[in-house]
């Protein structure tokens, strides 16, 4: 009897030991010379990355395994737990200019300066330094306190901008509008919206994922305010101790312009996530949808043919400082090599290939997402006409160009999420007027400047 | 046994006594076997229980993003920021605390108000009682992520609820923006769904309580001329108070700590109208672009724990008062 108990106890202890060891490495980085692993937070990138990986293997013989973890909270938790268990992959695709800095500052990323400093001219000019530790970033991002200025924690991978309006050509036509002619001004845009909502009361409005409240601020308001006020006055809205903030006459005028959208939002827009709003547009539940250059890929994946879509930047209001708004591309995501990789050379080679004209072309064509790699005159050939057409909004005089990557004039502890809720209460919820909204936004900005 | 055998045995016992060291060894072996059996449970408890509790408590006094090599100790700053010091965080937390409080009270009261009459009705019938009990129990069995998604579709602007209201000539009650996008209806709607999910268990508890009441007592009261309302008020209700206390406190605790429904259905929106404390803790931990806010999330978790502990104390006192 005792003997049986001993056997059972031994089995139990062995099971425990096996359970403990089972928590070890299962999907992490490569053994030296083995296959590479790459993690991304974008499901829409997986197929395209796999296609690029196949081309890479044909060239080098190196296998790359792509894994996606979505949504963002899952990706965050995955990185946190993998960092604890030393089980990170070899390559990560991260949000540029913030996430990569924090992860790099936490010691999880390799400094790519030596490998890529000489190759940064392959990228669009406004994206080249997106992964660089600058003094300004070091001062504002806590994790960078012990980082070396000049380190390169990521190289740009995808680029683009927000504030692109997508219009359903069939709905424009049904409303008696010219499906080939985008509205030139904010006022004309409102007449378009009025026409489509009159023609189709329930499915003629504007969709945007306002459940992620900052989208209204980042993707419509900022572009509108920049065009109306011009760069200097726009930046003054966010100033420290400013008297020209959101509650100033200029600020109030921009808020009033934004509030004019109130009658035209798609029903239930404030309960929709970004993907849900895009899907609603692709399904014909709205006539207009606001997104970024990256939205085209998602619309296509959800059955919307790119040729059925008219695209244009947020139109500037009449009488404003800018009449022909341009949108500077910024690096949206970057590629990083982890500090725990056992195969840094192969990982760097993979990043190099993905950001080369060949790799970026394969990726962009398959994903319909714009690469940060400057494809120059080959763009249309490599990425197709629909995607290349979006690039037309990137070029123009500096004074007409809204640059979302320009953060220097904002508080160091700027949090866009906190700007979203007051604007949502202005429109579409209608719980506050422009004056109350301006006052709230000024209070939020002041609190950010005063933050420790 | 013969006398000779007995003598021989006795002699053996005298001449060869069992050595105490050998007995100790046997006891030690047995103890070792016992420890080996409970070791997995103890280790799991130490790792998943004590270790994580201590880790989380320590983290609530630090700033950390989940991967940096070191924690930055900030003392009580995280608690202070949540409660009053941070002009950005504290108002959000107060708003979430108010919403949490409203939901806790509404869900608990609503559950009692629906579950008790439902249990009384079920207790009063004999035919189809089992079938009806199963039907009423369905929400508890099915409640979860998938059902919350189904509710979202039902509550959309062109969802089933609005369609039904319009079809019944109650179009004025329909919400053109949908029930979750409208600030006036978002929180009440979530409360209704939470009540829908919590009624089944409460109803079963009440049904068990009702079936435990001696019918002779009710019969005697009826013979004395007590009507159904008086019987309910003076006999049934007092006997069900301990169950009601349990139902209310379970509702309070579940609503205070649970946030899945808020995360999936509204994510705190529109514009913070359905923010609750559990959701804020989750957002601070995982929706801050890898900022070092795990300490704030942990501190908030501990504040929720203290509130839950106070509820447990109230629970114990109320139940003791019923004995």
Contact state of A83 with B282 under an 8 Å Cβ cutoff:
no
**Which residues of B are less than 8 Å from A273 in CB distance?**
267
Same structural domain for residues A135 and A240? no
Cis before A71? omega within 30: yes
What angle (nearest 5°) sits at the alpha carbon of residue A192, between those of residues A167 and A161? 40
Distance of CA A215 to the CA centre of its chain: 11
pLDDT of A374 over the 80 cut: yes
- Backbone dihedral angles phi then psi of residue A123, each to the nearest 5 degrees: -95, 160
Nearest to A271 among B32, B36, B178 (CB): B178
- The whole-number pLDDT of residue A433 equals 96
Let me know if residue A41 belongs to a domain.
yes
- Alpha-carbon span A225 to A434, nearest angstrom: 14
Contact state of B33 with A210 under an 8 Å Cβ cutoff:
no
Contact state of A202 with B43 under an 8 Å Cβ cutoff:
no
Q: For chain B, what are the domain ranges?
A: 81-322
pLDDT of A8 over the 60 cut: no
Can you name the residues that pair with A64 across neighbouring β-strands? A36
- Alpha-carbon span A355 to A361, nearest angstrom: 9
Residue in the structure block whose two tokens are 């105490």: B20
Q: Number of structural domains, chain A?
A: 2
Nearest to A107 among B43, B69, B88 (CB): B69
Let me know if residue A5 belongs to a domain.
no
Contact state of B87 with A450 under an 8 Å Cβ cutoff:
yes
The band of A11, judged by pLDDT with boundaries at 50, 70 and 90, is low
pLDDT of B1 over the 50 cut: no
Same structural domain for residues A153 and A166? no
- Alpha-carbon span A333 to A76, nearest angstrom: 15
Same structural domain for residues A211 and A136? no
| 3-class state of residue B212 by DSSP | helix
Residue ranges of chain B whose CB lies within 8 Å of a chain A CB: 29-30, 32-33, 36-37, 39-40, 43, 63, 65-69, 72, 86-88, 152, 156-158, 176-178, 180-181, 183, 186, 266-267, 269-272, 282, 286-287, 289-292
| pTM given for the model | 0.81
Nearest to A211 among B30, B157, B267 (CB): B267
Shortest CA distance from B36: residue in chain A: A9
- The whole-number pLDDT of residue A164 equals 93
Residue in the structure block whose two tokens are 């998943």: B48
Contact state of B156 with A268 under an 8 Å Cβ cutoff:
yes
Same structural domain for residues A309 and A167? yes
Same structural domain for residues A38 and A173? no
pLDDT of A288 over the 50 cut: yes
Same structural domain for residues A425 and A304? yes
B181-200 residue pLDDT tens: 999 999 999 999 999 989 99
- The first and second tokens of residue B118, run together, are 């439902």
Same structural domain for residues A353 and A410? no
Same structural domain for residues A147 and A175? no
Cβ–Cβ contacts within 10 Å for residue A386, how many? Answer: 16
**Which residues of A are less than 8 Å from B63 in CB distance?**
142
Paired sense of beta strands A206-207 and A288-292, if any: parallel
- The first and second tokens of residue B152, run together, are 């979202």
Nearest to A9 among B33, B269, B282 (CB): B33
Distance of CA A117 to the CA centre of its chain: 24
Q: Which residues of A303-338 are buried (b: 16+ CB within 10 A; e: fewer)?
A: ebebeebbbbbbbbbeebbbeebbbbbbbbbbbbbb
Paired sense of beta strands A401-402 and A326-327, if any: parallel
CATH topology for B81-322?
MetI-like fold (1.10.3720)
Q: Where are the beta strands (DSSP E) in A355-417?
A: 401-402
Contact state of B266 with A451 under an 8 Å Cβ cutoff:
no
Output the domain CATH number for residue A365.
Answer: 3.40.190.10
The band of B17, judged by pLDDT with boundaries at 50, 70 and 90, is low
Let me know if residue A9 belongs to a domain.
no
Which range marks the domain in which residue A97 is found? 26-160+329-374
Residue in the structure block whose two tokens are 């007409």: A400
Let me know if residue A14 belongs to a domain.
no
Q: How near does any CA of chain A get to the CA of B132, in Å?
A: 35
Same structural domain for residues A334 and A426? no
> Can you tell me the mean pLDDT for A281-310?
92
pLDDT of A370 over the 50 cut: yes
Contact state of B88 with A418 under an 8 Å Cβ cutoff:
yes
**Which residues of B are less than 8 Å from A83 in CB distance?**
66-67
- The first and second tokens of residue B234, run together, are 């003076």
Start-to-end CA distance of chain A, whole Å, equals 67
DSSP state of A369: -
Q: How near does any CA of chain B get to the CA of A268, in Å?
A: 4
- Alpha-carbon span B258 to B279, nearest angstrom: 8
Same structural domain for residues A285 and A424? yes
Let me know if residue A142 belongs to a domain.
yes
Contact state of B272 with A421 under an 8 Å Cβ cutoff:
yes
């Amino acid at each position: 009897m005792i003997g049986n108990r001993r056997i059972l106890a031994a089995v139990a202890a062995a099971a425990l030991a096996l359970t403990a060891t089972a928590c070890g490495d299962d999907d992490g980085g490569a053994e030296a010379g083995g296959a590479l692993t790459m993690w991304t937070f974008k499901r829409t990138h997986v197929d395209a990355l796999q296609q690029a990986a196949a081309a890479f293997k044909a060239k080098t013989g190196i296998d790359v395994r792509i894994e996606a973890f979505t949504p963002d909270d899952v990706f965050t938790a995955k990185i946190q737990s993998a960092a604890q268990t030393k089980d990170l992959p070899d390559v990560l695709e991260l949000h540029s200019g913030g996430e990569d800095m924090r992860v790099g500052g936490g010691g999880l990323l390799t400094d790519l300066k030596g490998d890529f400093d000489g190759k940064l001219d392959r990228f669009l000019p406004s994206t080249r330094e997106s992964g660089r530790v600058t003094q300004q970033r070091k001062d504002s991002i806590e994790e960078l306190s012990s980082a070396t200025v000049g380190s390169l924690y990521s190289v740009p991978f995808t680029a683009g901008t927000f504030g692109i309006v997508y219009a359903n050509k069939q709905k424009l036509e049904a409303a008696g509008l010219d499906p080939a002619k985008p509205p030139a001004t904010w006022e004309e845009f409102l007449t378009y919206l009025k026409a489509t909502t009159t023609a189709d009361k329930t499915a003629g409005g504007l969709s945007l994922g306002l459940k992620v409240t900052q989208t209204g601020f980042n993707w419509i308001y900022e572009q509108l305010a920049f065009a109306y006020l011009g760069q200097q006055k726009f930046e003054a809205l966010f100033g420290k101790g400013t008297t020209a903030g959101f509650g100033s006459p200029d600020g109030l005028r921009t808020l009033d312009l934004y509030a004019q959208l109130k009658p035209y939002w798609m029903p239930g827009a404030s309960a929709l996530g970004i993907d849900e709003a895009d899907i609603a547009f692709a399904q014909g539940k709205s006539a207009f949808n606001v997104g970024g250059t990256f939205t085209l890929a998602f619309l296509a994946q959800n059955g919307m043919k790119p040729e059925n879509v008219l695209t244009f930047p947020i139109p500037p209001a009449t009488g404003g400082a800018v009449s022909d708004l341009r949108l500077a591309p910024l690096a949206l995501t970057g590629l990083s090599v982890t500090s725990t990789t056992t195969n840094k050379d192969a990982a760097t080679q993979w990043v190099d290939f993905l950001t080369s004209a060949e790799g970026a072309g394969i990726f962009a064509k398959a994903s319909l997402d714009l690469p940060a790699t400057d494809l120059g005159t080959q763009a249309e050939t490599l990425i197709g006409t629909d995607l290349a057409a979006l690039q037309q909004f990137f070029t123009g005089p500096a004074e007409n160009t809204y640059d979302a990557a320009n953060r220097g004039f904002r508080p160091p502890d700027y949090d866009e999420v906190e700007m979203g809720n007051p604007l949502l209460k202005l429109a579409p919820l209608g719980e506050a007027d422009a004056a109350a909204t301006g006052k709230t936004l000024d209070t939020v900005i002041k609190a950010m400047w005063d933050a420790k | 046994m013969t006398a000779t055998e007995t003598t021989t045995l006795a002699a053996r016992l005298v001449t060869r006594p069992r050595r105490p060291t050998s007995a100790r060894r046997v006891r030690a072996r047995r103890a070792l076997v016992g420890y080996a059996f409970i070791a997995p449970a103890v280790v799991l408890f130490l790792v998943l229980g004590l270790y994580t509790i201590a880790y989380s408590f320590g983290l609530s006094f630090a700033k950390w993003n989940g991967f940096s090599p070191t924690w930055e100790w900030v003392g009580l700053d995280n608690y202070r920021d949540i409660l009053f010091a941070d002009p950005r965080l504290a108002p959000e937390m107060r708003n979430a605390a108010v919403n949490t409080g409203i939901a806790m009270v509404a869900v608990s009261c609503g559950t009692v108000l629906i579950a008790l009459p439902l249990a009384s009705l079920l207790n009063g019938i004999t035919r189809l009682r089992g079938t009806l009990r199963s039907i009423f129990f369905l929400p508890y069995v099915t409640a979860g992520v998938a059902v919350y998604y189904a509710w979202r579709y039902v509550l959309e602007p062109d969802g089933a609820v609005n369609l039904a209201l319009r079809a019944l000539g109650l179009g004025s009650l329909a919400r053109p923006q949908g029930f979750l996008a409208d600030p006036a209806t978002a929180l009440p709607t979530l409360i209704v769904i939470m009540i829908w999910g919590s009624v089944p268990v409460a109803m079963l508890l009440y049904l068990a309580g009702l079936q435990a009441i001696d019918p002779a007592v009710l019969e005697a009261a009826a013979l004395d001329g007590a009507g159904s309302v008086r019987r309910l008020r003076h006999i049934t209700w007092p006997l069900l108070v301990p169950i009601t206390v349990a139902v209310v406190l379970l509702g309070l605790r579940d609503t205070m700590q649970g946030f899945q429904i808020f995360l999936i259905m509204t994510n705190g929106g529109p514009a913070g109208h359905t923010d609750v404390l559990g959701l804020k803790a989750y957002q601070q931990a995982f929706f801050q672009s890898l900022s070092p806010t795990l300490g704030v999330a942990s501190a908030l978790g501990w504040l929720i724990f203290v509130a839950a502990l106070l509820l447990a104390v109230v629970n114990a006192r109320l139940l003791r008062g019923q004995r």
